[in-house]
A and B are shown apart, each in its own frame.
Chain A
Amino acid sequence: MRISDYIQVIIFISALVLLAPLLGAFIAQVCEGQKTFLHPALSWLEKLTYKIGGVNPNEEMNWKEYTKSLLVFNLFGFIFVFLLQVFQSSFGLNPQSLPNINWHSALNTAVSFVTNTNWQGYAGEVTMSYFTQMLALTVQNFLSAATGIAVFIALVRGIKKSGKTLGNFWQDMTRSTVYILLPLSILLAVALVGQGVIQNFSSYAEATTIEGVKQIIPGGPAASQIAIKQLGTNGGGFFNVNSAHPFENPTAFSNFLQMLAIILIPAALALTYGRMVGSRKQGWTIFAVMFAVWFITLVGSIASEYMTNPTFQQAAIMEGKETRFGVVNSLIWSTVTTAASNGSVNTMHSSLSPLAGALAMFNMMMGEVIFGGVGTGMYGMILFVLLTVFLSGLMVGRSPEYLGKKIEAPEVKMALLGILAPCACILIFTAISAMIPAGLSSVSAKGGPHGFSEILYAFTSATANNGSAFAGLNANTPYYNVMLSIAMLVGRFIVILPVMAIAGQMLGKKVSPVSAGTFSTDNALFGFLLIGVIVIVGALTFLPALTLGPIVEHFLMINGQTF
């Protein structure tokens, strides 16, 4: 690494650590329904939403009502995105006259955007009309993220409050959209256009290049979608190659803004959590855990990428990377996008050195709790926190308590379900796909372990609701479209349901006062325990699979073996 690389890493980290607490404080105000500086400008929009929806935002819901309204809202979102795609050619804003999309690709994309995965089985520039990009995809970029924040708020209320009700889903979701996601997206989109991200409704220009080749140059309202794609940890690109595309990410500074946008809200939410439970130290402890694990994966990725590859006798290989970003920005991005469940890419993960690819996978395999998705990262992390409290309780022989509330069998069972169901989904679906022709025929790496890595990465990414890929895999087939859809649904809703159940359970518990024997959850000791539990669950579950894929690849690579 050169000095310029260190400087860029340090600037990125400084910006994150400075901005996260500010945003975290603001989000806490929004979540708790306090007036913010944006209310004079935007509260009419919030009120209008309730009026048009015909809902009373002050009507409190119990956890079942809250969950039902969330599920119905997401179901309608899914149907809407699906229908807009399969009837795409009937709508306007389609200057390239792109045809209707087939059912299995539309199914995959609809599930993908509603679950905040934003896996791209399609190539945006030759598949999606501007109408579909805006009214189907951009919208779910907002609403799936807002849904994640709503679940997070509900869980915090369950932990903090006593009583029977968790608040109102419509209110939490609308406030998240109106006061958090929309203003930040407008800011970021304008900044990105200033850097040269395109935003137009033109039909594709036909250029004749200097050497006389025809080149079709795409257009579209990209900046507005890219801003929320990053802020909402969505990650679905406007174009096929996502944020490596010079129209999506034209400069090193647009790259910096996008990397920061990917991780900012998830990081801020850890600190929001501390404020909402009334102890900022709780928030900083979780933030520190997330930061430490992410930082280790960054250092590991850089070390791996800078290792000399004997086949080419070069280190820091530029295959799949863009000149304007260079190696270090590609690796900050690959770790940030997989730690946060964003999944947009500025470099081709399949062409990373094997261990950097393995670390990208491992970030997702830990359950997307290292920052994780907007809302999802924190509620996933709280599952691990409960598990850690429970295990610590067993070790010292005390009945486990978290923030004054007893952790009992039902909560632990639910936490385990939310943690283990996605793990099982990844391993079982990968195993099936590695054995049957429909799974194997999509693999692009013909020999050696990389083909297995492609499959493992796909199911990891879908289940973790990440959306990045080892894109050599041809996943736009009926088999993969359907299997990955199931994986995305498991990874989203078999986590949300247990989380909501825990919120409901915790709500009914009495708060006992802090005593000398209370196990504290806001210090370094707890931080280390939490890291231990997250890493051990991830490592024990996935090390065998990683060994068959990228780890074997690494050892073959350093011996100069090619396939």
Chain B
Amino acid sequence: MKHFLPAFRILLFLTLVTGVAYPLLITGIATTFFRQEASGDLILKNQQPIGSVKLAQKFASPKYFWGRPSAIDYNPQSSGGSNLSQNSLDLKKLYDERMVTLKAANPSQLENPPQDLLFASGSGLDPHISPAAAQYQIQRVAKARALNSSQLEKLVNDMTKDRQFGIFGEPTVNVLSLNIALDAQGLLNKE
């Protein structure tokens, strides 16, 4: 077959171009100009990584702000959502459980918690919550840290990011950054 040899050689050559040279070129550009972003925005504490600012991690203590529920328990080894349908009984049960937990943890709030705290994210690693979801938790965190809630309100407002360029997406609060800021402010840990 006269096409076999050209097919084989062109495949190998274009593999080198698109599968080796191209990713290496991008890696070169990335590490030169965007080193921190390209390596996953890891946060170090005493030289040890404590997480990535882009990935959610689990917060269950009342003195930290909580992120969105995760169908994979915040394990990046198997990113994913629940894939439950909107008329799934399992989803309804999870929803009810989360509602009970959140209301018990935030007794001063009379309203229902915002949606994003009740429904799991798509990736299971969503690092953000809505500003409303952060505000919902202020009283609880303030109480657990024996703080004045107005201090926390200011912090949450400072940490709230508007839509990107004022247009794209939704306003967000990065949960990990917020919690690190909380600890870093030396705002007392009541332990």
- Residues on A close to B: CB < 8 A? 4, 7-8, 11, 45, 48-49, 52-55, 68-69, 72-73, 75-77, 80, 123, 125-126, 134-136, 138-139, 141-143, 170, 174, 177, 182, 185-186, 189-190, 193-202, 205-211, 213, 215-219, 221, 223-225, 227-228, 239-241, 244-247, 250-253, 255-256, 309, 311-312, 314, 316-326, 329, 345-348, 350-354, 444-445, 447-448, 450, 453, 470-472, 553, 556-557, 561-563
Using A247-B54, A321-B121, A323-B121 as known contacts, list a sample of 7 further A-B pairs with CB atoms less than 8 Å apart, ordered by residue number in A: A48-B13, A193-B33, A217-B52, A255-B168, A312-B92, A319-B82, A556-B87
A residues near B167, Cβ cutoff 8 Å: 4, 7-8, 11
Residue of B nearest to A69 (CB): B3
| Chain B residues near A563 (CB-CB < 8 A) | 87-89
* CB closest residue in chain A, given B67: A323
Bound form: Cα–Cα A471–B95 in Å: 20
Chain B residues with CB below 8 A from A185, complex form: 22
Instruction: Decide: A139 near B18, CB < 8 A? Known: A200-B38, A323-B116, A353-B86.
Output: yes
- Which residues of B from 40 to 61 have beta carbons under 8 Å from A? 40-42, 48-52, 54-55, 57-61
Q: Take A52-B10, A53-B6, A239-B79 as given contacts and tell me if A211 and B168 are in contact as well, using a CB distance cutoff of 8 Å.
A: no
Once A54-B6, A215-B75, A245-B79 are accepted as A-B contacts, the answer to whether A255 and B42 lie under 8 Å apart by CB is no
Q: List 14 A-B contacts (CB under 8 A).
A: A135-B15, A193-B33, A199-B30, A200-B27, A205-B40, A206-B49, A207-B51, A213-B74, A216-B75, A311-B87, A312-B92, A318-B116, A444-B83, A556-B87
Measured between beta carbons, the chain B residues less than 8 angstroms from A210 are 50-51, 57, 59, 64, 176, 179-180, 183
Tell me if B80 and A471 are in contact (CB < 8 A): yes
Stretch at the interface among B127-135, B139-147, B151-159: B127-135
Question: Is there an interface contact between B126 and A322, defined as CB atoms closer than 8 Å?
Answer: yes
Q: How many angstroms between the C-alpha atoms of A450 and B74 in the bound complex?
A: 26
Chain B residues, Cβ within 8 Å of A215: 51, 55, 57, 74-76
- Measured CA separation A198–B10 after assembly (Å): 30
A531 to chain B, nearest CB (A): 30
| CB–CB A217/B85 < 8 A | no
Which one of A4, A141, A198, A556 contacts B37 once the chains associate, using CB atoms below 8 Å?
A198
Closest 8 A-B residue pairs measured CB to CB?
A252-B169, A472-B83, A244-B122, A252-B168, A326-B170, A241-B79, A348-B81, A319-B119
Chain A contacts for B8, CB-based, 8 A? 76
Among A142, A196, A215, A323, residue most surrounded by chain B Cβ atoms (within 10 Å): A323
- A205–B77 Cα distance when bound, in Å, is 11
Are A190 and B129 in touch, CB under 8 angstroms? no
A45/B168 in contact, CB under 8 A? no
Establish whether residues A319 and B120, one from each chain, have CB atoms under 8 Å apart when the complex forms: yes
Contact partners of B137 in chain A: CB under 8 A = none
Partner of B170, one of A247, A325, A562: A325
| Contact (Cβ within 8 A) A346 B31 | no
**Residue with the greatest number of chain B CB neighbours at <10 A, chosen from A55, A77, A241:** A241
- Cα of A548 to Cα of B54 in the assembled complex, Å: 40
Q: Is the CB of B17 within 8 A of A45?
A: yes
Contact of B115 with A by CB under 8 A: yes
- Whether A321 lies near B77 (C-beta < 8 A) is no
User: Cβ of A219 and Cβ of B39 under 8 Å apart?
Assistant: yes
| Docked-complex contact A182 and B22, CB < 8 angstroms | yes
A554 to B, closest residue via Cβ = B87
Among B15, B79, B84, contact of A125 (Cβ-Cβ < 8 Å): B79
- Is B20 an interface position by the 8 A CB rule? yes
Contact of B59 among A45, A138, A211, A224 (CB under 8 A): A211
Minimum CB–CB distance for B137 against chain A, Å: 15
User: B residues within 8 A CB of A350?
Assistant: 81, 83-85
**Contact A245/B31 with A135-B19, A185-B22 known, Cβ cut-off 8 Å:** no
Cβ–Cβ contact B125 & A211, under 8 A: no
Please measure, in the bound complex, the distance between the C-alpha atom of A123 and the C-alpha atom of B79, giving whole angstroms.
8
B12 CB, min distance to chain A CBs, angstroms = 8
Beta-carbon contact of B116 and A138 below 8 Å:
no
Asked whether A209 lies within 8 Å of B116 as measured between CB atoms, the reply is no
Q: How far is the CA of A195 from the CA of B169 in the complex (A)?
A: 14
Determine the chain B residues whose CB is within 8 A of the CB of A80 once the complex forms.
11, 15
Interface residue B26 (Cβ < 8 Å from any Cβ of A): yes
Which of B55, B76, B85, B183 meets A445, CB within 8 Å?
B85
Alpha-carbon separation in the docked complex, A210 to B182 (Å): 12
Q: Is the CB of B163 within 8 A of A252?
A: yes
Least CB distance from B78 to A in Å reads: 6
Q: Is the CB of B59 within 8 A of A553?
A: no
Expressed in whole angstroms, the Cα–Cα distance for A188 and B101 within the complex equals 43
**CB–CB B81/A224 < 8 A:** no
Cβ–Cβ contact A323 & B68, under 8 A: yes
A4 CB contacts on chain B under 8 angstroms: 163, 167
- With a 10 A CB-CB cut-off, give which of B37, B88, B127 has the most chain A CB atoms: B88
In the complex, the chain B residue whose C-beta lies closest to that of A142 is B18
Known A221-B27, A350-B85: A209·B50 in contact at CB below 8 Å: yes
Contact assessment for A325 and B169 in the assembled complex, using a CB-CB cutoff below 8 Å: yes
Cβ–Cβ contact A189 & B55, under 8 A: no
CB pair A246 B123 closer than 8 Å:
yes
Are B122 and A347 in contact, CB atoms less than 8 angstroms apart? yes
| B50 near A207: Cβ-Cβ < 8 Å | yes
The answer to whether B38 touches A199, judged by C-beta atoms less than 8 angstroms apart, is: yes
Among the interface residues A11, A193, A217, A562, which one has the most CB atoms of the partner chain B within 10 A? A217
Q: Which of A55, A125, A224 contacts B10 (CB 8 A)?
A: A55
A244 and B81: CB pair below 8 A? yes
Complex contact A319–B11 (CB within 8 A): no
Q: Does B14 reach chain A (CB closer than 8 Å)? A: yes
